[in-house]
Amino acid sequence: MSIFSTIIRRFTEPSTWGGIAVLLTVFGLSHDQAGAVTDLLAAVAATASVFLPEQGSR
């Protein structure tokens, strides 16, 4: 399993999004800004999932 697929799998976990939002808020982003960044990361992860094969389908 590649590091990229491991990262994508982590992005599917709700706790990851909560942690990212908290870290962004701690580093000075407002709640709205943190939400925008996590939305962007979710969009990137969703787009990457389109191109990654399902596990066991190789």
Domain that holds residue 19: 3-51
pLDDT at 28 over 80: yes
Look at residue 11 and tell me if it is in a domain. yes
Q: What pTM did the predictor assign?
A: 0.56
Average pLDDT of the chain, as a whole number: 78
Look at residue 56 and tell me if it is in a domain. no
pLDDT of residue 51: 78
User: Which residues make Cβ contacts (< 8 Å) with residue 6, sequence separation at least 6?
Assistant: none
Look at residue 41 and tell me if it is in a domain. yes
The 10s digit of each residue's pLDDT in 38-56 is 788 778 777 877 877 776 6
Look at residue 58 and tell me if it is in a domain. no
pLDDT of residue 46: 78
Look at residue 15 and tell me if it is in a domain. yes
pLDDT bucket at 5, cuts 50 / 70 / 90: confident
- Counting the structural domains of the chain, the total is 1
